[in-house]
Every structure is written in structure tokens, then in C-alpha cells.
Structure 1
Amino acid sequence: MKQTALKRWFNSGGPGVWLSAGAVSIAVIMTIGLLAVIAVRGLGHFWPSDVIAAQYDVPGQESHVLVGELVQSEQVPRARLKGAGLPVPDQGPEFMTRDLFKIGNRDISPGDFSWVIGEWLKDQRKPAQLMTLERREWGNFYGYLVNVKEDGNVIAQGEAAWPQLQARIERVQGISDQLDRLEKGEIGAINHGIERLRLRARKLELDGKLDAAAQADMASERAEFDARYKAVESQLAALHADFNRDSLTARDGNGKEIEIGIGKVVHAYQPNAMGTMTKLGFYFQKLWEFLSDDPREANTEGGIFPAIFGTVMMTLIMAVIVTPFGVLAAVYLREYARQGVMTRLIRIAVNNLAGVPAIVYGVFGLGFFVYVLGGSLDRLFFPEALPAPTFGTPGLLWASLTLALLAVPVVIVATEEGLARIPLTLREGSLALGATKAETLWKIVLPMASPAMMTGLILAVARAAGEVAPLMLVGVVKMAPSLPLDGNYPYLHLDQKIMHLGFHIYDVGFQSPNVEAARPLVYATALLLVLVIALLNLSAVTIRNRLRDKYKAFED
């Protein structure tokens, strides 16, 4: 009886169901665990950590004060430390503690981070007066505030210096915002206008129409641009003078003093004196800066807004390109093409395209889109800009087209499956009522197949948004802080190079000169890339579900 029941259980497919459920559960747990690790390590980077001051006594060396943030702590075998040349005594516990401190002060010490032996740290404390200066360059500075200066004259020192420092940092930040608006807005518009004027003159020269009247008109326009530039230049000079007016004197843990321009300081805070709510407010401020600011310090500091913008813009353009081409190809294969050997070969080729390595698409995009198609467009429409390329160089358009080519097989397959599920009776009923085949396709079949089209688009976005290898060849670069969308005609600059979250992760993680500083940003950017892809997919899923509910009655 037991064998018979066990045999019936196997024949019913129960083991397969349990194995499938177990495999799915493991996959879900692993995915959630991976996202949790990325979130903890990435988001924890923005929390204002306490700064430790301790006496570091290395046997046989002069003692000094170590000041910094504790980043990591681990147990290391004593023999390993001794083999590394450290003056570790032979007797003692088998394992010793090794701590990684972020000591900053790169303009004083050789590196941002330092491994130290925990047993050699004495008299560890967290003075409330210890401050962290987050700077625009040279990383963080850890130490004590001595005084604040204006035009080289001390205006506050001791306890009175801290509120003065905060007020002047806020003032400098306002000046920095004005400088950004002038340099990226006014100066950018003037440079754009001068360049368009130069290209227009070159075009007239090539056409043999650069007469005296045209030269006079352009000279007048150039004079207007020069007048605008001089006015903005005087404003910039005054703002730069104000920006560099104030400075501070700081002292490190060993008593060495250094003067730092307040214009170089982004934030100054005393983490040991901050309460939990104050730290929480500062944390969300730093998180917002990460999402909204431009990168700095070789992408290891600042924000990643240009990479977010470039990723979303490129994915949206890719979706606009891939959807009509994929749908038209699927409609032709399913509704119009004669079902024979050639059609089967085309379907096999489409399915095989979905498995081609992404880097192959990148090489094709560079060779065909950039050099052949882009070079031809330059010769036909932009001869006045040559030999400088306009579209004959990697840019946003070619990156989007390459991704569209990579994703189009997915859209074709999903759309074909959706068209195949439309009942034949609906087509026949529409034709019987006098509608043409095109009207039936446009008003009956395509609307009902739209959820499948959205499914294909979701899969395309999920694959294309995270690709990195082909984009390195066709338009994505390490640093492109100017956005491809601005107020200068033609407003959307498809020829401009962009930043991308996937390439940003690769660059920060593998090309950064400061690996330890870049590590938490790799996790934070990876989490953000997952969230961006999820948001794009959720938007498409929402649209698909609404379309499915709308046409569900017809399917029933």
C-alpha cells in the first residue's frame, strides 16, 4: 500500500511541484538577500559616522595620534601579520584585530585609508570638537577647527568659530549655485550661439554666398555675443572673488595646522556631537545630494544625477525606436507573410539574435551606425563642421539605436505570441461585417495584442537598461556632466555623449584610483540602477495591466 501511494504521488507530479517551488523560493531568497546586502552597504555610506581619536603605539616606532572613521574590523592570524613585516611579538593570542580607518587629510598624509592593529590603539575617545570637512577635492579632512578668516584676517576662533564657519559655508554654497547657473546657463548659451554663428559662416562660404552683407550681419551678432560675454565675465570675476574670500585654519590630531579655503568645503559637521535626529536629517540631505548633484573627485565623491538622466533618457529613446520596428516586424511575420521555409528561417534568425553577445552589437553599432551612417550624415547635412564630426562620433542616438537593435528580437517574439493568441473568430467576424484586413488589424487585433507588446517592451527595457559593454563603444563616457537636454536649440542633443549608471559602476569599481573610497558608491549606484529599471518596468506593467483589463471582455 505504501509503495502504491508513493507511486501515485510520483505519477501525480507532486515531486516536480515541490522541486519547482523550492527552486523558486531559493531564487527569491537569494535575490532579496543580495539586494539587502547592496542596500545596507550602499545606503550606509551616507550616515555621518563618529570620528575616533586614539593613540597609536607601534612597537619600536614613535607614537602618534590617529584620527578617523572606523570602516572595517577583522581578525587576522598573528603569523600573517608577522610575515607582512609588522613588529608583532612572537608570544600572544593566535589572532589579532586589524582595523581599517578612513583617516582622510590626503594633503597631509599619503592616503585616505590606513590599516592599523587594534591592540596597538590606546586611549580611544570621541571628542565632541572633532569635525569632518567634506571638500570638493582632496577628500575629507578630520581635525579641530582653530579659526575662521576673512581676506586673511582672523574674525573668529575657539567656540565662536563654528557658527561663523557654518554661516560662511552656506554663503559660499549660494555663490557656487550662482556660478553654476552662469557657467552652465549664460556662458553655455553664448558659446552655443557663437558656435552656430561660426558654422553658419562656414556653410555660406562653402555655398559661395558669404558676401559683405552676410559678413556684416554676422559681425553684428558676434558683437552682441561678445558684449553679453563681457557682462557675464565681470559677474563671474566678482563672484569668484567672493567665493575665495574666506578660509579656515584646521589642526589635525598631531597638532599640524593647515589653512583651507571655505570655497573648497561642501560640508562641515561634528558627528560626535550630533544626536540621532540630527544625523538622520543630515543622512537624507546627503542621500538627496547623491541623487541630484554632479560627480567629482574621479566619480568617487558627489552625486550621479548625469548618469541617472543619461540612463533614463537613453532607455526611453530606445523604447520609442524599438517598439514600432518590433511590432511591424511581428505583424508582417504573423499576419501578412506566407508561412513557408523563408518565414521559418526568419523566425530562427530572430530567435538567434536574442542570444548574440551584447559586445557584438556594440562593435556593429560602432562600425555601422557611427562610422558609416554617422559619417554619411555629416557629409550630407553638416559639411560646415567637418573635419570635426557631428554624428560621426559616438553619442546618445547611436547608443539608443544599438540598444534597440539588441532588444528588438524580444519585442518581435512577444508581439508574435500575443497576435497568435487572438481568436480567429474575431478576425472573421470583423471581415464579415465589411471591415478590411487593415481595419481589422488596426482596430481589433493590435489593441487586443497590446498587452503582449508591453510585455515585450518590459523585457526589452529590463535587458537594455543594464547593458554596459556595447555602450562603451557607442556613446557612454566616464564624465559628461552637461546633460543632452537643455535650453539651447535643438534642445535635445542626440549627438552628445552621456553617462550611464552601469558604466559608472564599472568605472568606479574597477578604474578608480581610490578603491576603498569607491566601494560603497559601487553598492549605492548598483542599488539605484536596480531601482531605476524596476521603476521603468513597473510603469510598463501598470500600462499593460490596464490594457489587459480593457480588452479582457473581448477575449472572453
Structure 2
Amino acid sequence: MTTLHKNETDGLRAWFKRGEPMIWINASAVTVSTLAVIGLLVLLAVRGFSHFWPADVFVAEYQLPGEGSAVLMAERVESESVAIEQLRSAGFKLDTEDPFIERELVKIGNRDVYGSDFRWVLTRYLKEVDYPVDAVVMERREWGNFYGFLKALNTGDGRTDLSQGDAELWQAFQHSIERAETIHEDIERIEKKDIGAINYRLEKLRLKERGLELDTDLSDTVRQQRQMEIDAEIAELDAKYEVLQRELRELYQQWNRDTFIAATVAGDERELRVSTVVKAFRPNAMSGFDKVVFYVKKFGDFLTDEPREANTEGGIFPAIFGTVIMVLIMSVLVTPFGVVAAVYLREYAKQGVMTRIVRIAVNNLAGVPSIVYGVFGLGFFIYFIGAEIDQALFAEALPSPTFGTPGLLWASVTLALLTLPVVIVATEEGLSRIPRNLREGSLALGATKAETLWRVVLPMTSPAMMTGLILAVARAAGEVAPLMLVGVVKLAPSLPVDGNFPYFHLDQKFMHLGFHIYDVGFQSPNVEAARPLVYATALLLVVIIALLNLSAVALRNHLREKYKSLEM
């Protein structure tokens, strides 16, 4: 027995010496981390993307003990078990001895009727549950969804009602919605593109006129001539504006022409404009294929439309665009500065106490809270540099700031400063791994130090540079706190890219997916409606960061393979 015990002890010691326990611990940690990430992504996908599925709508009688009955039309959102004592302490008189009871969160819509979109009901007291095929769900531009039944449609061609057939009424209603949507697109094109361009040119002329007033070196003749040119351009623009206004008034009349009559489940009839409806569908009458098609279209609208209803409805395209364009500008700014700083510290700076202090400072900057960078960006970039730029280049616009206010440029610069230490450290590590004999061989062949650095060292260090950029993108894309101070807003009226010179407006404020998640999740007046959008937007932000990183990883791998032979 003693010999057997000794052999087991020796075997255990040898197992530890080989380091196998650490291998198993590391493998377990990687497995747990991977499963946690996958679980998070699945949770975000299920909770977020299920929002776009056209859920069936039920009609039921709901009557709690000791209270009057009511008829509900709603779609099921989620269910949970709740303690009976908790409900009784809240004043419910329940006729059951079970310790728990099932309750459901249902979406009843019709916020303009009931005051709220959602309601908790006890499943036990839902009676005569039915799924009528003619139940209609209407997604509106305001007041959320409308749940009810379509009764009649009034158009310029006459009135269509149920007496003429439900199928004919529904087809006419869908045609009217498509017509209204087409007119709405024309209205938006005129308001945002045509009139927006005129307003932009008028503002430029106003600033030009203001510049004439501030320029004291001009003679009266030149001043009058330029003023006449400005007045002529203003008159021409005003004429175009009047034409567009008349066209708009006609379009608005056509847009608001059609009305329809819809009844709630309680029988209350309401006459509404077709122009208030974005889309209408009958989920109970849809086949599985129809629901899949509807799901794809609605998800596409989520990716390409602008937000509505305090960001709880519509799409998130401005936030996607703002996030991507900010990360790209940040990458363009941080990469050259980070590489130059790393090259100086590794290749040119004297390796002494001061260089070590600088490296320590760079490493410490990587751990500074991001909100500190936001405060610095607000004070230095916006209030100091931006104000100086306004004084030098945009004096005619003062006191209204141009660059002396939060905007896309300052948000990108602030994040570039925030991620600069990451790029410096990664590039320095890459430079330190370049074999010394490559440098010496290049110098022996007659190349200067600068030529060696540019043609040999930096190309071989490019994979490390890309690693730093990947880490920088991953951190910058998800930051929210500093952006709240230096350029991100809840709702931006227009994209920073348009058809007006100089076409790319770095001074404009923009939307961001991270701030959109914060705003919808914590500042929304309709929490239940906003919750699935928080999950969907969070998953979309993860996907965008992954795509940006994968692009950088692919480029890094290409560069690594390209220069692998030189390293060998």
C-alpha cells in the first residue's frame, strides 16, 4: 500500500510539473467565457429581433373577481409567475388558494384611447379567447399601434365599406396606404433635400452679407456691387422657395385626403387619416410565409428608417451611420499619431529616465476614465480650439458657434485621444519584435536610418499597428460617456453628409448607437415599448464592432503573411 501511495503521489507531482492543471484551468476559463458571450448574443437576438415578428392578436373577456368585465384585444408579450400574496397586498381579491398565479404582459395599443400601450393581466381570468382573422394592427406615426377592426374607407374616388366586401375594403385600404406613403416620400424629399438646400444657401448668403458689414477695408462701390449680387441670389432663391411651398401645400392636401373608420374592440368608432398609418396588417390571417416576408421587411425598415416616437418606433439608420463614420474618422486620426509617437519612443528617443517616464504616462493614460476625456474634449477642443477657429474663420457667424460647439469632428478627436495609448503601446511592441539584423543589413547596404525605418521596419510592424487599431476601434465604438459632452445628441435632424458643399459637415451633431441604447433604455417615456429596441440595437452595435474588427483582422493577417518571409 505504501508503494502504491508513493507511486500515486509521484504521478500527481509529475502531472503538476508538466503544467497540465493550468492547461485545464485555462481551457475551462475560455469555455466559460465563450459560452457567456454566446449566451449574451442569443439573449439579445431573442429579446430584440422577436419584436419584429407579427404576433397573433387575441380578443378575450377579462373579469377579475369583484370587478366589472372588459373586452381586450391585444398581443402577448411575456408571461411570469407571481405570488398570490403579493397581488392580494396590492388590493386584488382573488378566488384561488394556489401560492402562485400566471400573469401576462399584453400590448393593447391604442394609447390615444387607453393612455398606455401595455397592461398586465392574469391569465386565469381571460375567458373566451379568440383570434379573429379580421383583427387589424396599424403602425402609426404617432400614438403607437392601433388595434381594432376596419369599417370603412373614404377616398377621393368615393367610400368603401364592409357592405362592398371585406376583401375589397382591405385591398382599397392597402392601396391608400401605399399612395400616402409615396406622397410622404415626395414631401420629405422636398422638405429635406430641395428646401433644405435653399435654406443652406440662404444661410450662406446671410453670412456673406454679414461678412461685408464686418469688412471695413472695402470701398462703398465694391460693397454695393456685392450687396446687389447677394440680393439677386436671395431673390432667386425666394422665388424657388415659393414654388416649392406651393407644391408642398398641394402634396399635403393630397396626403391628408383619405380617411378611414376603425372600431376598437369595445365598439368605439374613430375616423382617422390614412396619412397617420405607416403600415397595416392582419396577423391572424397571415400564413407562415407571409409572416416571414413581413418580418424581413420590418427588420429592413428598422435598419434604414429614421426613429419616431421619442426613438421607441421607426429605425436607427442615423445612429448606425453616425457610429460608423465617427469610428472611421477616429481611426484616420489616431493611427498616424500613434505610429509616429511609438516610432519616436522606440527608434529615436534616448532610452533614459525621461523616456521611461513618458512610457509610464502613456500606460496610465490608457486607464483614465473615459468621462475625463469627454470633459477635456469639451474644455480644450470645443471651448478653446473651436472658439479660436470660429474667431479666425467664421467671424461672420458669431455669436452662433460653428466649431465652438459639440460636433462630429470633436467627438472623433476626443476618441482618438482616448485610444491613442493603445495604438502607441501596440506599435511599440511590434517595433521591439523586429530583428536587429534586418536593420543592420539595411544600413550595411547603404540605406539611411529613415529609409530603413520606412521601407523595412514599418512594413513589418504593420500587423502590430493593425492590432492596436483593432483594440482602439473596439473601445471607441462602444463609448458613450465622453460622446454625451462632445457631439452626440438624442435626435439629429440630418446626416453629416449631404449634397451641400462641402458635402461632409464635421461641425454637425450626430447620433450614435451607444447613446441611442442609453437614451431608449433609461430616458424613454414608454419603457415597455423601448425594451426590445434596446436589445436589438445592442446586438446591432456588437455586430458593427465585430465587422469593423474583422475587416482590420483580415488586413492584419494579409500583412502578416506578406512579411512573414522577411521575419524568417
Q: Which of the five TM-score ranges fits, normalised by the shorter chain? A: over 0.9
Deviation larger for 157-166 or 134-143 = 157-166
Structure 1: runs of 5+ lacking an equivalent: none
Corresponding residue SS for 2:550: helix
Match of 2:127 in 1: 122
Aligned equivalent of 2:551: 539
- The answer as to 2:143 corresponding to 1:135 is no
C-alpha distance after superposition, 1:112-135 (max 9, x if no partner): 000111111100010000010000
CA distance in 2, matches of 1:116, 1:153: 42
Distance (Å, rounded) in 2 between the aligned partners of 1:339 and 1:173: 68
CA distance in 1, matches of 2:357, 2:189: 56
- The answer for the alignment partner of 2:475 in structure 1 is 463
Which of 254, 272, 280 aligns to 1:268? It is 280
- 2:84 is aligned, of 78, 84, 96, to 78
Instruction: Name the amino acid aligned to 2:39.
Output: G
Secondary structure at 1:211 match in 2 = helix
Is the contact made by 1:362 and 1:470 (CA closer than 8 Å) also made in structure 2?
yes
Q: Which of 114, 131, 153 pairs up with 1:148? A: 153
Instruction: Give the counterpart letter for 2:262 in structure 1.
Output: A
Shift of residue 152 of structure 1?
11
Task: Please show how residues 473-488 of structure 1 align to structure 2 within 5 Å.
Answer: 473-488=485-500
Q: CA deviation at 1:151?
A: 5.7
Counterpart of 2:47 in structure 1 is: 41
* Equivalent position to 1:327, from 321, 335, 339: 339
Gaps of 5+ in 2: 1-6
Pairwise mapping of residues 78-477 of structure 1 onto structure 2 (< 5 A)? 78-89=84-95, 91-150=96-155, 154-157=159-162, 158-159=165-166, 160-208=168-216, 209=218, 211-477=223-489
Q: Residue 482 of structure 1 aligns to a residue in which SS?
A: coil
Alpha-carbon shift at residue 59 of structure 1 (Å):
2.2
Q: Contact (CA 8 Å) 2:466, 2:553: kept in 1 or not?
A: yes
Task: Write out per-residue CA displacement over residues 423-470 of structure 1, whole angstroms, 9 at most, x where no aligned residue.
Answer: 111111111111111111111110110010000000000000000000
Whole-Å separation in 1 of the counterparts to 2:240 and 2:449: 61
Q: Is the 8 A contact 1:371 1:392 kept in 2?
A: yes
The AA in structure 1 aligned to 2:140 is R
What is the Cα deviation at residue 140 of structure 1?
0.2
Say whether residues 1:30 and 2:36 are aligned partners.
yes
Kindly indicate whether the alpha-carbon contact (under 8 Å) linking 1:422 and 1:448 is maintained by their aligned counterparts in 2. Answer: yes
Distance 1:284 1:177 in 2: 21
Q: Distance in 2 between matches of 1:181 and 1:520?
A: 30
Matched-pair identity in %: 61
Which residue number corresponds to residue 508 of structure 2?
496
Residue 212 of structure 1, CA deviation? 1.3
Give the counterpart letter for 1:302 in structure 2.
G
**Number of paired residues?**
555
CA shift, 1:156, in A, is: 3.5
C-alpha separation in 2, matches of 1:37 and 1:481: 32
**Amino acid in the other structure paired with 1:257:** E
Q: Deviations over 1:326-376 (max 9, x none)?
A: 000000000000000000000000000000000000000001011011011
Aligned-pair distance for 1:546? Answer: 0.6
Rounded to whole Å, the distance in 2 between the matches of 1:281 and 1:151 is: 31
Code of the residue aligned with 2:50 in structure 1: it is G
CA–CA distance in structure 1, aligned partners of residues 432 and 233 of structure 2: 61
Mapped to 2, the partners of 1:543 and 1:76 lie a distance apart of 53
2:565 pairs, out of 533, 550, 553, with 553
User: Which residue of structure 1 aligns with residue 3 of structure 2?
Assistant: none
* CA–CA distance in structure 1, aligned partners of residues 224 and 172 of structure 2: 60
Calculate the TM-score normalised by the size of structure 2. 0.97
Instruction: Give, in angstroms, the shift of residue 481 of structure 1.
Output: 3.8
Contact in 1 for aligned 2:64/2:94 (Cα 8 Å): no
Separation in 2, partners of 1:359, 1:154: 60
User: Which residue identity lines up with residue 117 of structure 1 in the other structure?
Assistant: L
Whether the aligned pair in 2 keeps the contact of 1:294 and 1:481 (CA below 8 Å) is: no
Deviation at 1:37, TM superposition (A): 0.5
Which runs of 4 or more aligned residues in structure 1 lie more than 6 Å from their structure 2 counterparts after TM superposition? none
Structure 1 residue 203 displacement after superposition = 0.9
Q: 1:16 aligns with which of 13, 22, 26?
A: 22
Q: Is the partner of 2:205 in helix, strand or coil? A: helix
Alignment check: 8 A CA contact 1:152 1:247 kept = no
**How many Å separate the matches in 1 of 2:224 and 2:129?**
79
1:237, distance to aligned residue in structure 2 (A): 0.8
RMSD: 1.0
Greater mean deviation of Cα atoms: 250-259 or 147-156: 147-156
User: Do the aligned partners of 1:290 and 1:305 also contact (CA within 8 Å) in 2?
Assistant: yes
| Cα distance in 2 for residues equivalent to 1:31 and 1:448 | 33
> How far does residue 153 in structure 1 lie from its aligned partner after superposition?
5.7
SS at match of 1:123: strand
Deviation (angstroms), 1:488:
0.3
1:497 is paired with a residue of what secondary structure?
coil
Structure 2 distance, partners of 1:253, 1:93, is 32
Which shows bigger deviation, 454-463 or 155-164? 155-164
CA contact 1:306–1:481 (8 Å) conserved in 2: no
User: 2 CA distance for matches of 1:141 and 1:311?
Assistant: 33
